[in-house]
Amino acid sequence: MILNSGWYTEKDLQKAGAGSVGINVRVSKNNTLIGLDKMHFGSNIRIDDYCTIVTSKEPIYLGDYVHIASHCHISGTYGFEMQDFSGMASGCRVYSATDDYVGPNLINPTVPKQFLNVKQGKVVLEKYSTMGANCTVLTGVTLKEGSVMGAHSITSKSLEAWKVYLGAPAKLVKEREKITDDKDFREWFANAHGVSA
């Protein structure tokens, strides 16, 4: 038997204390959101089942027309942003902080800070950028406008605009055709759904 757990709406998120929320926002009730007061939601957003989104310090910003598919994990304590029309396919991982695994220090969050060496940095998915299924993005990375990561790719370096990357580590494989204007889509969507463009 499959039971649909339903969705939290923008009204639910506002009532729960989200930093800010636009319209037509749907977040599956099977998700975990920690630090909701530091999360800012644009409009026309969908976050599918079994995602975990966490921040305790820096804000998280989701722009308009953003989709986060099921089973994604976003560790956004040191900043995370998804700009308009960006997306994450199922199983993606984003880390705004990570332990130094090669230095002479201890590793894991149960250890006092003076014995750790944690790398920190905001992660940004710029407008039109996308992470394919099961991709991983590490600390301080920016997926520049229109860049794409193919499935199962990993990157610790920022990706150039309008290019497609694949592999672990992610390597440039081809150019991507640019989207020059989304005005027609925004107007169509607004008319079709009776919402703001």
Q: What is the pLDDT of residues 55-110, one digit of tens each?
A: 999 999 999 999 999 999 999 999 999 999 999 999 999 999 999 999 899 999 89
Cβ density class 95-107: b for 16+ within 10 Å, e for less:
bbbbbeeeeeeee
Q: Which pLDDT score is estimated for 195?
A: 67
Where exactly are the structural domains of the chain? 7-193
For position 71, what pLDDT does the model report?
98
Angstrom distance (rounded) from CA 105 to CA 31 = 33
% pLDDT > 70, the chain: 97
Place of tokens 């944690």: 118
Q: How far apart are CA 94 and CA 76, in angstroms?
A: 8
Confidence of residue 187 (pLDDT cuts 50, 70, 90): confident
Does residue 118 have a pLDDT over 80? yes
7-193 is classed CATH 2.160.10.10: yes
Lowest pLDDT segment from 49-63, 95-109, 133-147, 176-190: 176-190
pLDDT band at 136; cut points 50, 70, 90: very high
Q: Looking at per-residue confidence, does 3 or 38 come out higher? A: 38
What pTM was estimated for this model as a whole?
Answer: 0.93
